[in-house]
């Protein structure tokens, strides 16, 4: 599969669609989800064109991987979730529930999230 630069996250990265930014650096953008599934729901995306977590971990530079990993606690702190708890989710592919073909992490919290997977 090749990267589709018409996906919504690519458009956000190009500034074609606005987002409510939480954190940004050279390699990463974090913003509030437009359709939250919890009281607090943020997305962290690499700025590079990676389809899913497998593509990212296989092809991103060490600097990109480190930047994404280091962005997580910065976003959690900005959202004031550290002491309350949160869940980080990376969906991959159709069976994994991935809706946008650009690798992204969901940070959700603000309430008890419940079981990881429901039958």
Length of the chain counted residue by residue: 119
- Annotated active-site residue 104? The verdict is yes
Cβ neighbours of 29 (radius 10 Å): 20
Cβ neighbours of 52 (radius 10 Å): 20
Tokens of 10: 């690519």
What angle (nearest 5°) sits at the alpha carbon of residue 22, between those of residues 14 and 45?
A: 50
Yes or no: say if 31 and 21 are a contact pair by the CB < 8 Å rule.
yes
Please tell me which residue in 41, 102, 104, 106 is annotated as part of the active site: 104
Q: Which residues are catalytic?
A: 104
């Amino acid at each position: 599969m090749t990267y589709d630069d018409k996906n919504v996250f690519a458009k956000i990265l190009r500034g074609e669609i606005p987002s409510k930014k939480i954190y940004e650096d050279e390699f990463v953008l974090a913003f509030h989800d437009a359709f939250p599934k919890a009281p607090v729901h943020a997305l962290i995306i690499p700025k590079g064109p990676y389809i899913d977590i497998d593509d990212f971990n296989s092809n991103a530079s060490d600097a990109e991987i480190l930047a994404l990993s280091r962005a997580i606690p910065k976003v959690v702190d900005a959202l004031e979730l550290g002491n309350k708890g949160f869940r980080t989710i990376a969906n991959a592919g159709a069976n994994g529930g991935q809706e946008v073909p650009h690798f992204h992490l969901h940070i959700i919290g603000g309430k008890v999230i419940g079981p990881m997977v429901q039958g």
